[in-house]
Each structure stands twice: as C-alpha cells, then as structure tokens.
Structure 1
C-alpha cells in the first residue's frame, strides 16, 4: 500500500509568516520523520508591517518553549497593554482598546450595563478607568500580571509585545534550524503541477528542482503559489475599507517607552507609533483616492519628531482574502492569504491561527477536500470577523472634516455588522460568534470610545442597589489608580527585568 503520510513540507518565503510556520511545524513534527524545507528569496526584504501584536503571540512563544525575556532581548521587544486611539471619534478625543478585563460582572449582570446606566445619570468616568491594562498604560507603568495575586487588579491585566520583525525572523530561523529545518536561500521562479492540479515541484533560480508533498505559501502579497500557480481567486474588500496604501519609516527612540501602540487618525487615514527598545516604528496608512504617495511621505515626516533611521518605504495593498487559503496541496499564510490593515495588529495573529488550524487538521498527502474545506470555513470566519471589527472604527466615527471621513460614512457595511451596531444602539448589548477574535469587551471599548450611546441599558439591572454600585465603581477606580502609581515605569521595568 502506498505511503499516505506527508514526508516533506516546503515553506516558500521567509519573513515573520514563513518562520512562524517553520518554527511551529518543526516543534510538532521534528521527531515524526517529516522533512521541512524553507526556501527564501535573497531578493525580497521584510516589509516591517506586523510589529505590534496581540496576546496570542505570548501563547505561541510558550508553546514553542521559548523564554520570554530571552526573546524580548533578541528582538528589542517592549510590552504592549493595548492600543490608544487618538482623534478617531473626533479631533482632540482619545480612547483605549485595552487587553484583559474591563470591569467585573455585578449581581450576575454584565458590567457594561451598569456603566451605561451611570453615564445616563451623568457619571463622567471613562471605560478605560475600569480596565487594569489601560490604567497601567495611561500611567506609563508595567508589572508582570504573572506575579500578581488573584485578588490584585493586576490579575486582570493581559499583554502582548512590540518587536522588530526582522529580528523575530532571525530568532525563529535559529530556533527552527536547531530542530532540523533545512534553509535554502534562493528565488523560486517556476512550478510544475500534477495531472490532478496539485503542485508537484518548484524550480529555483539556480536551476535546482525542489519537490514536496505539501507547500506553504508565505510569499506576501506576491502570493507566488496560491495566486500565481494555483490561480486562487482574491476577494477584494475595498468596497468596505478605503485605505489601500502605507508609507513606513523608523525613527530614533530616545524618549520614554509607552507600553501601548498609538493609532492616530488623520485627514486621509491614520498613523501608527510602535515603541521598541532601539527605535520607534512609524507608519501612515491612507487612501490613495484622497492622498498621493508624496503627500503621505510629507505628512509622515512632518509628524515624526525624532530623526529618521532609514529611508521611507511604500506599500500598497488590497483589503481582502483568498477565496481558499488552502487549495489542493498548498496553504497560504500571512499576506499571501489576505490583508487587513494593521489597525488592530491582527497580521501575526492570522498567521498563528492559520498554522495552528493547519496542524489541528493535519492531512495526509491526499489532502482531503473535506479537511481543506473545514480549514477554509474557519479562516473565512476569522477574516470576516476581523474585517468587521476594523470597519467599525470607520463607520461609527464622528469625524466628517475631510472627504476621506465623509466617504467612510457612505461606504458599504456588511449586514452582520449592521445588525451588531443596531443591537448595541438599542440596548448596549454585544453578540459575537465563537470564532470572533475580539471579545465583547473589545467591541464595547470601540463603541464607547467613539461616543455611541445606547438608547437604553439592560432593564434587569434595576434590581441592584445602584447607589451602592456607584460607590463600588468609584472605589475601584481609585484603588487601581493608586496601585498603578506605585509600580515601575515601563522603561524602568524593561531595563531591570529584560536587559538588552
């Protein structure tokens, strides 16, 4: 009987997605007789989008057995407690999307219903004041939640990392090679197919032929295999999202290091600031319909306060995803599978989720269509959930001060998102499916930060002693603020616990 086990997996493309795939495969498969080769073109540079992450990256490191502090030192990483949004609801206003808990349930009811009632009664407290991660971030402080006692507010903190994408790729390369990954530095120039349409082999620029049982396409927006060889359709979401371009530059970081990402809205898009130990990452994401590349360059350089450390780099994209991220014996990860602007730092998460789901559904070399279909079903929901969350930031913004923001008010909105907005508007409730990356607290943070006030709140909370609830809320805010003030500044914590 012919062996049906996969014996050779070829990852095409390095960068963050490629080495995430290689490291994950190596960790799980290194003692199972599966050969893994990563072929990387020396002609392509890492883009550097995806240096701000979500908490799932910490579980990835733990699953690989990587020491957190060693990894942070090697990648010039800093801690991230969430994202602070500036000028999104209107110019001059700011709000938080923090990691971890926001408030606690009271009398068996959702915390947000009590906050909404308090608002209607004139209580000026902001939602972030009940989020431990945001309280720490606002104070510029950090302390490991793992060192907290269960009764401490720090136990509600969650965190991710900012890191240097080039250094991450190098770190994961060393990790993968130590587990037996074969690394080939050469450009793939062609591919041949079996009669059944599966990829048979790759042809390298130096004339060599590289054959595998399964191929993982991590070639970025070029999508060399999934798009170029297998001609898999790309579903374009630019009817939902206007931004299609970005300009990026790194600058000196000689100031304090805030433990959060900044997302600052501008006339034709928005700008990120990602603080690392050795530099500050800056990028301007914009719509080419309203802004030229040279205008974007000038805007970014005008706003970057410290000296630039490299030349500006431009990046164009189409929001969307492949109709199939798994097609025949090829899986697309990273930008080869789809692209969603980095507003909520989801790029690396989608790579992690993709390789995790692949390993959960690990096939034989026949690559059953049923298995591929299930993978594609799950990942389609993941992409669409994230897409809708990003659209939310634009479609409920109060800004109308430029043609860009005016057009965002007339853009298409997916039906599922319209229903979610209507439910929140009616009674401050959030409905989410099981594959939604973002918890209800995240949706509440964006709705509330944008100034969306529900018509009413859950009437069942009327059974609670609201005067007592308000006293408790006030005490909680005061306690968290006091505890945060006594903790070390983020840079001080890094210097002591994560020296580079």
Structure 2
C-alpha cells in the first residue's frame, strides 16, 4: 500500500527503548482495531542503553500499559528520582537542586516565587532561605527520603512529584515480553536494503540479510543514531545545534554501588563538559558528556575514572553525536522516534520523554484515511517546537554559568543564545516573570530552579507582593518551611522504601495534623498593622 492509503501494517525498525515503547503503545491502542505491528531488530547490533534517568511523564506511559510500578522497579533494578542535583554549574563550589513538583504555595493572585523574591529583596535572605527550602522534593532528597504524592491538597506532599532511574536494557526487555504477549511480531535480522516505491518515493519494504522481505504501510525508524530509514534512505537533512550545545561525545562507564541509593540524579560540571551519576539498585550509572573541541577522549576517560564512586563495572562505552534534529521527523511513510530523529544531550533526562511524546503524537495523528499531508505537517510542527523548547532549557544551563576556569565554559558564557531564550531571560531578570508556552515540557518551577540555582536573580519583583506586611509574610513563610521540613522528616528512607517492595501505602499519613500545609493569605495579612 502506498503513502496515500489506509495503514494496516506497521513495521518498526530497531528495538531498544524507542522500538519497544512504540510497539507496546501500538499493541495497547492500535492492534485491537486490526493494525498489524512487526518489529525488526538484530541482536548483533547494540542499543545506546545509557539513558537511565527519566522525568515524571514516564509514569503516565507505564500506567497506560497497566505496568505495576512495584513490578517495574523490581524488574529494572530501578530507584526513584525526585530531581537533579547540579554541582559546580553556576560556579565552582555551587550546588543547587532542580526538583520535581512545585515550590511553596501560590496565592490567588501571586506566584509563590514572587513572595520569595520580595523576601530576598527586603532582607537579602537568599542563602538563609534558599528556594529549595520550599520544595518538598528537594527537602526529601536532601534527607535521602522518598514518598509518593498525597491526594490531599492541604498536605505538603501534594506538591511532590517523582520519576525513575532504571536499567534501560531491562526496561526494553520488559516491554518486549509485554508486547509479544499482546501479539507484536518480532523478527530477528540485520537490514541490508530499504526498497522505495518508484511512484511516490515511499518505503515499500525492507530486506534482511537472510533474504526476507518485510512489506509495510507505515515504517517507524527506531534505529538510533544510524537513522537507517529517515536519515539514510529518505536523506532527510539534519538541523545542527552544536553551536549552542557543543558537547558531542559521551563515555558511559557504570560503577559498583557505593553507599545508599539516593533518590536523585547528580550532574557535576567539569572541564570540557559534565559528569552524570544515576543510582540503581545493582550499580551506579556513571558517564561523562563533553566537547571534543575542548577535551580529548583520553582526558575525558581519565577524568571519568577519577570521579567514579566505586569500582568500574565493565568497559567504557563511547558515543558520538550532534545536538539537533532531522528537519522533518515524518517524511512520506517514515516516522522517526528516538535518536533516529534527533538528539538532545541527557542533561535533563529528556530522551525517554521525547520517545514517549513522539509515540503519543503519532497515535493522535495516526492516519485513518487516504491522504496524510495534514497529519504529517502537524506532527512535524509539534515535534520541532518541542525540540526547540527543550533545547532552550538545556542551553540555559550552559549560558547561565559564570565559570571562567576552562575554555569550554568561557565559550558557553560568551555564546549568543536563541532569541526565544533571550526573551525569557530578559523577562526574568526584570521582575522574575516566567511564562510557560502552550504545552511545553518544563514548568515555571523548572525554569525558576535553574535560573535562581545558577545565580540569575531578578532586579525586582511583582509589585503586588509589596501589599503584604513584611512581618506577616515572614511568619507565614517560616510556617511553610517548618511544615515542609516536618513532612520530609516523616518520610521513609529511600532505600527502605525500595526494600519494602515499594509498598502501596504512603510513608506519611496525609491526615497527620502536624504537617498541615499553611496557605499565605494576602487579603488577611494586608489588613494587619
């Protein structure tokens, strides 16, 4: 069937997280209506398999499939993630935390951070009352504790969110078993040829090394950096963003567990790039992302080994990449999902999310009749927009650094950023205003955490915050910090939570009266002397 027809046969090229997440979603939502799904992969071709940290949206994907969270954690050797600790990013010796969830509690008319800025401008209390003191996730992480969100909006735990760390290879195997049980057909083999239609240029079939030919209506390219279908066969151009995101190399080198399993990822800025640390139950995921223009491969590996928490497990795995994306991620009857369509470094753990949103987008726009032009155009528009917004958030981390001890960091500090990011920075520097565009991934809280964490402080705050008497504001914000701290102290240690097989009951009783969530009431306080 050609690119203009109804889709009945979907062929997924490549396994790994991208391939098997796509297969699982299609098995759940499309196969019951008669769509056939075939996945082709070769055991001889490895997957990248280093993306072991995620963001909270992964929970929605697992819930869609009906995968039990406790089973998932057990089978993937996983742990829970409350956010990312950034070390030495703003400057040497600086640490800050990008938490999942929200900061403080908004009033009816003001964002909480405007009240915090008012306190900072009045008393210069940014160190005594760090933004992280008003984050449930950050406080729990600092104590090595974990708990699930409360459904009670008056409890501090209602503001927490979480994601996972897991072994990506084990996750792919879990999804493979799930998908095959639902009827997805897996074919083992190496692709030797991609055959295109003479009439419209669509992919008609793929040929395997053993002579097997696989025909399909829609082909999903999950072949990783190789981009066998979209990049090679369709020759779709690549939009290069390396001038903004200059890191183009990575080395992954897992290490033995050392110390407790912490509920957060750590990113440490180093010469030429940054190192990651991802705690799993059976090992620690470790690696370095760096710019080959500023650091040699040998020096990067030496620095990585020197920074490991425990003994190295296995051999180093080297990756080369360019930040950016294919100009179109859906061309004719080929859709790229995952690394075959683009790559944004794992600084904020967005790789799995980009797979997930591409799958959701494709299923939402899945062709149901002849003529796919509108669906393709909208898929590409949304995909490029998502890449651009995540790109800006990643660039922020580099641009906001004031480090000048290394040529790489000097380059990042001096580079001109996209106009879309420049506008955000100007608005925030003026009076702390943050605007989230449409359904973009990163929330106002995320932008706030990174900008403040790396030392960008607004010159002013929303004037509406000045209507609140200073003493009353100080008293109620102290009560807020106290409630958050008490709630964090009552959570289970993260390792104990995991050891208990992720018991369904919350580690904190949401009805406990000593951890009520205090609201700031500007109308009441404005009437006070």
Q: Residues 63-102 of structure 1 correspond to what in structure 2 (within 5 A)?
A: 63-102=64-103
**Partner residue of 2:525?**
none
**Partner residue of 2:106?**
105
CA contact (8 A) 1:193 1:201 kept: yes
SS, match of residue 145 in structure 2: coil
**Partner residue of 1:379?**
383
Q: Supply the distance in 2 between the matched residues of 1:384 and 1:210 (Cα, whole angstroms).
A: 35
Q: Supply the distance in 1 between the matched residues of 2:175 and 2:113 (Cα, whole angstroms).
A: 41
Residues 189/367 of structure 1: CA separation in 2 closer, same or farther (3 Å cut): farther
Q: Under a length normalisation based on structure 2, what TM-score does the superposition of the two structures give?
A: 0.92
Q: Supply the distance in 2 between the matched residues of 1:107 and 1:234 (Cα, whole angstroms).
A: 45
**Partner residue of 1:163?**
166
CA contact (8 A) 2:272 2:406 kept: yes
CA contact (8 A) 1:107 1:464 kept: no
SS, match of residue 375 in structure 2: helix
Q: Supply the distance in 2 between the matched residues of 1:273 and 1:4 (Cα, whole angstroms).
A: 47
**Partner residue of 2:520?**
none
Q: How far is 1:275 from its partner?
A: 0.3
Residues 234/44 of structure 1: CA separation in 2 closer, same or farther (3 Å cut): same
Residue 199 (1) aligns with residue 206 (2): no
CA contact (8 A) 1:427 1:455 kept: yes
1:350 to 336, 351, 354: 354
Residue 455 (1) aligns with residue 465 (2): no
CA contact (8 A) 1:214 1:365 kept: no
Q: Supply the distance in 1 between the matched residues of 2:13 and 2:43 (Cα, whole angstroms).
A: 12
Residue 23 (1) aligns with residue 24 (2): yes
CA contact (8 A) 1:343 1:390 kept: yes
Give CA-to-partner distance per residue, 1:424-460, whole Å, 9 cap, x none.
Answer: 1111101221131001111011110011111111112
CA contact (8 A) 1:213 1:365 kept: no
Q: Supply the distance in 1 between the matched residues of 2:83 and 2:165 (Cα, whole angstroms).
A: 11
**Partner residue of 1:116?**
117
User: Over aligned residues, Cα RMSD in angstroms?
Assistant: 1.5
Q: How far is 1:151 from its partner?
A: 2.1
SS, match of residue 119 in structure 2: helix
**Partner residue of 2:507?**
none
CA contact (8 A) 1:381 1:435 kept: no
**Partner residue of 2:434?**
430
**Partner residue of 2:445?**
441
Q: Supply the distance in 2 between the matched residues of 1:472 and 1:255 (Cα, whole angstroms).
A: 37
**Partner residue of 1:471?**
475
Q: Supply the distance in 2 between the matched residues of 1:289 and 1:276 (Cα, whole angstroms).
A: 32
Give CA-to-partner distance per residue, 1:367-403, whole Å, 9 cap, x none.
Answer: 5111100000001110000000000001111111110
Give CA-to-partner distance per residue, 1:198-232, whole Å, 9 cap, x none.
Answer: 10000101111000000000000100000000000
CA contact (8 A) 2:118 2:465 kept: no
1:222 to 226, 237, 262: 226
CA contact (8 A) 1:53 1:161 kept: yes
Q: Under a length normalisation based on structure 1, what TM-score does the superposition of the two structures give?
A: 0.97
CA contact (8 A) 2:402 2:413 kept: no
SS, match of residue 409 in structure 1: helix
How many residue pairs align between the two structures? Answer: 498
**Greater shift in the superposed pair: 70-79 or 103-112:** 103-112
**Greater shift in the superposed pair: 248-257 or 323-332:** 248-257
1:189 to 192, 199, 209: 192
Residue 152 (1) aligns with residue 155 (2): yes
CA contact (8 A) 1:361 1:375 kept: yes
Q: Supply the distance in 1 between the matched residues of 2:393 and 2:174 (Cα, whole angstroms).
A: 32
Q: How far is 1:486 from its partner?
A: 2.3
**Partner residue of 1:497?**
501
Q: Supply the distance in 2 between the matched residues of 1:435 and 1:256 (Cα, whole angstroms).
A: 36
**Partner residue of 1:173?**
176
Q: Where do 5+ consecutive residues of structure 1 fail to align?
A: none
**Partner residue of 2:516?**
none
**Greater shift in the superposed pair: 16-25 or 480-489:** 480-489
**Partner residue of 1:11?**
12
Give CA-to-partner distance per residue, 1:320-341, whole Å, 9 cap, x none.
Answer: 0010001100100110010000
Q: How far is 1:96 from its partner?
A: 0.8
Q: Supply the distance in 2 between the matched residues of 1:22 and 1:39 (Cα, whole angstroms).
A: 11
Give CA-to-partner distance per residue, 1:307-359, whole Å, 9 cap, x none.
Answer: 11110010010000010001100100110010000000000000000010000
Give CA-to-partner distance per residue, 1:155-184, whole Å, 9 cap, x none.
Answer: 111000000000000000000001100001
Residue 311 (1) aligns with residue 312 (2): no
CA contact (8 A) 2:258 2:309 kept: no
CA contact (8 A) 2:5 2:371 kept: no
CA contact (8 A) 1:257 1:491 kept: yes
Q: How far is 1:106 from its partner?
A: 2.6
CA contact (8 A) 1:24 1:355 kept: yes
CA contact (8 A) 2:47 2:224 kept: no
